[in-house]
A and B are shown apart, each in its own frame.
Chain A
Amino acid sequence: MLVNFYQEKDQGTPLLKCLTDFEINAKLTVLNVNAGFFAKRKLSNLGILTGVKIIKKRAAPLRGPIELIVKGSSLAIGRGLATKIVVKCEEPCTL
């Protein structure tokens, strides 16, 4: 599924990038959530679904949680979980 998504957008398959890889204020689109059943369900209830646009608002220092804006409200997500959220950058942005 993921591969298809990339193939129609760009040529080739770039490396998967997760929420933690992007800089602050990056406008992102969720591609996949690779978390376990419970975390995934909770995130989906809160609106983090494939194709949803999110903004990375800030990251706490020392590998702390990441705050993002989804559907107009802020959500803090632990670093470990954030690495499981695969995203792509909406606009070309430096990495």
Chain B
Amino acid sequence: MSNSISKKRKISKKAKYKDIINIALAGNANVGKSVIFNQLTGLSQTIGNWPGKTVEKMEGHLNFLGYHFNIVDLPGIYSLSTYSLEEIISRAYIVSEEVDIIINVIDATNLERNLFFTFQLLELKVPMILAINQMDIFYKRNLILNFKKLEDIFKLPVIPVVAVHGKGVHKLLEEAIELVVYKHPTSHYIQNSKKIHEQLSHDDKKVKNDLSIKKTFQFPDLSSILKCGKEVETKVYELIRNVDKFSNYFSKFNYPSRFLAIKILERDEEIEKLFKANQETSYIIDLVEKYRKELEEYHGEDISTIISSEIYTNIHKIIEEVVNVKTHVEKKLFWADKIDHLTTHSFWGYVILALILFGIYFFTFLIGDFFGGVIEDMFEALNNFIYEVYGDDNLGVKIFWEGGLGGLFGAVGGVLVYVIPFFLIIEILQDSGYLPRAAYLMDRFMHSLGVHGKTIIPMILGFGCNVPACTGCRIMETEREKKISIALTSLVPCAAVMTVVLGLVGRYVGITWVLILFVINFIVIIIVGKILNKILPGQCTELIMEMHEYRVPNYSVILKQTWVRTKEFIYKAMPIIIISGIILEILFMFRLLDPVNSLLSPITVYWLGLPAITGIFLIYGILRKELTLVLLALLANSMGTTLLGLLTPFQMIIFSLVTMLYIPCFATVVLIAKETNWKFALKITLLEIGMALLIGGIINWGFIFLTSF
């Protein structure tokens, strides 16, 4: 504490200093970057226990010890080669002037693989802090990490962190300030280094605003740990010499020459482009070609394997030095292992998967139905009260009470009660680490739809909301797989669809029909997948996925995330629901709906066998699917009947089915267009409308045909 106070005093005369620090959080997937980000900024970046949650870099701000911090959360990557979009973006961002300091988040329980990325970052020679996360689990395994030694080796600050409990996260910022002020990494395990720093009281020039920290930062000499084998090293040395000849040209790309040399040797496309772009440097490519051939012949491996294994050898040496086992304990089967075993079991795994998917709906239905009933009764009571006070034919009351507040109650009672428990389960699923297991189990099956198992992750998230789930499809490696995944995900019945189905069919017809509807929906998903698999050129790639350990979901995190999602839902959906409720009431009163409905009636009335009025609801439903139910309830309310008076049970089934399938909601269509292109979005939309009308019509006419006997 006293430490931070003294620091505050030191920084109090900051006027002339650089007081904005830009920080980027980088590291492997699923190491807790987003958790640290949320702890620091108080924002709610989605977090969960599966790789690939953060698909876009996210920015947040905070003030700490008199400094303003801009913090960017980068997507998790495994190397700085440019084979995926995230890696290209992250690498360009890390070397750009926009970032002062990189915080490399490392999962202590998986040091070896995490350090591979760290080694790549070290080659970039950017000011860096190592945050060793999940120390609590590390200690639980009776392991000891020698931080002093780690700092000696890396010559950079190494901070233990337990991100989920917020331990050590602010220490990272203090350390960042130190780096900015002293432009020289400290070690707090060596007393001397601290003393040197104290003596080096920073004079004003050193931290002027206009100075980029990156340019002035004295990156420690780490050549001893970064050194590869002799053969590789001589080639790299030759290349560095050649690159340095053109230092004028290369300096504008911010990459150190050693990094360029290694990456060009590794056949990195982006770097090759840099070399080709300049007439003078293009000769290096031929040189590299020659060296690469020599190395590959010598080692009998291809170049990426050679360099990776050199790095892993170095890492292995470090690990042996810094990690100690406290006492040797018999490895017991932890509960996490037991659950892991059960959920990936050849038989029970599928049973559990089915139970979970079914459980999502059952749980939400149970809770939603109960609270929905309570709220409906309340509205009923209020309704009677209002009409007693104001009389039956007060126009203003009719518009604002029936339309506006009725919409609000409809939204709370019919939609929100289902949405909240739903989000809660989705969050628990995300945070526990179950999703990769589902991907593992479903991999074989998904191959028949032309994608690998990872697609199941955005699909399960799609049960919550299709919009973020479609963004999540970026975890797929190729364009083709991304397209198929998006198409499949957009067909998954989301929370809104679920409320319609449960609120209409579930409440008035029975749970069996709900199940039948979902089965139909999944058959449609399979058919669409098969069609796309045939149509789209290319082949299915193989699954390569990290399986992280289960962990106990953190309750505060889950509750917070659920709240954030619900809040977002309220802010986005409620105004639309209330306003469209009022508009509908007005339209209905002045009989303005008839032209639209009669225009749609060939489809709605003759083909689907629905009342003409539903046409307008289906159009509203494009905006948000839950509107179809809310508005239907409103209409029934204003006509003085219940939903049963408006639709026969059979019509309810058809109506729900069409709502389920007929179109991804507007936000999803826009997002699909953004992720792929408008042409593809349009194709998907048309395909789904066609599917919905076809199946709806077949069921309707089939039913008519069957009952006519």
Give the B-binding residues of A (Cβ under 8 A): 1, 33, 37-47, 49-52, 58, 60-65, 67, 71-81
Contacts and interface: CB of A to CB of B under 8 A. Distances in A.
A80 B548 CA distance: 22
Contacts of B441: 60, 64
B244 interface: no
A60 B545 contact: no
Interface residues of B, number: 38
B544 interface: yes
B344 A37 contact: no
Nearest to A51: B309
Given A41-B81, A64-B443, A81 B542 contact: yes
Contacts of A81: 542-544
Interface string B305-326: 1001100100000000000000
Contacts of A44: 304-305, 308-309
A39 B305 CA distance: 11
8 contacts: A50-B305, A73-B546, A76-B443, A77-B542, A77-B543, A79-B443, A80-B542, A81-B544
B301 interface: yes
A33 B302 CA distance: 10
Contacts of A41: 81, 83, 304, 308
Nearest to B80: A45
Contact of A76 (B78, B81, B300, B440): B440
Contacts of A47: 112-113, 116, 308, 312
Contacts of B344: 58, 60, 67
Nearest to B308: A44
B346 A60 contact: yes
A60 B113 contact: no
A40 B436 CA distance: 22
Contacts, number: 121
B547 interface: yes
The 9 closest A-B CB pairs, nearest first, are A78-B542, A1-B300, A81-B542, A78-B543, A74-B547, A61-B346, A44-B308, A64-B444, A41-B304
Nearest to A71: B112
A48 to B, nearest CB: 9
A46 B113 CA distance: 7
Nearest to A42: B544
Given A49-B308, A60-B344, A65 B110 contact: no
Contacts of A43: 544
A74 B305 contact: no
A39 B447 CA distance: 17
Given A64-B444, A78-B452, 16 more contacts: A39-B541, A45-B79, A46-B113, A49-B305, A49-B308, A49-B312, A60-B443, A62-B444, A63-B444, A64-B443, A73-B113, A74-B546, A75-B547, A76-B545, A76-B546, A79-B444
Interface string B116-153: 10000000000000000000000000000000000000
B48 interface: no
B657 to A, nearest CB: 31
B118 to A, nearest CB: 13
Interface string B433-474: 000100111011001000011000000000000000000000
A6 to B, nearest CB: 14
A79 B436 CA distance: 16
Contact of A37 (B79, B302, B346, B436): B302
B444 A60 contact: yes
A40 B304 contact: yes
B204 to A, nearest CB: 44
A76 B110 contact: no
A28 to B, nearest CB: 17
B24 to A, nearest CB: 20
A72 B110 contact: yes
A10 B549 CA distance: 38
A49 B544 contact: no
Contacts of A33: 305
Nearest to A35: B542
A88 B15 CA distance: 65
A80 B300 CA distance: 24
A79 B630 CA distance: 47
B28 to A, nearest CB: 10
Contact of B116 (A45, A60, A65): A45
Interface string B63-95: 000000000000000110101000000000000
A40 B312 CA distance: 15
A88 to B, nearest CB: 16
Nearest to A41: B304
A58 B347 CA distance: 13
B110 A60 contact: no
B267 to A, nearest CB: 8
Which residue, B440, B453, B543, has most C-beta atoms of chain A within 10 A?
B543
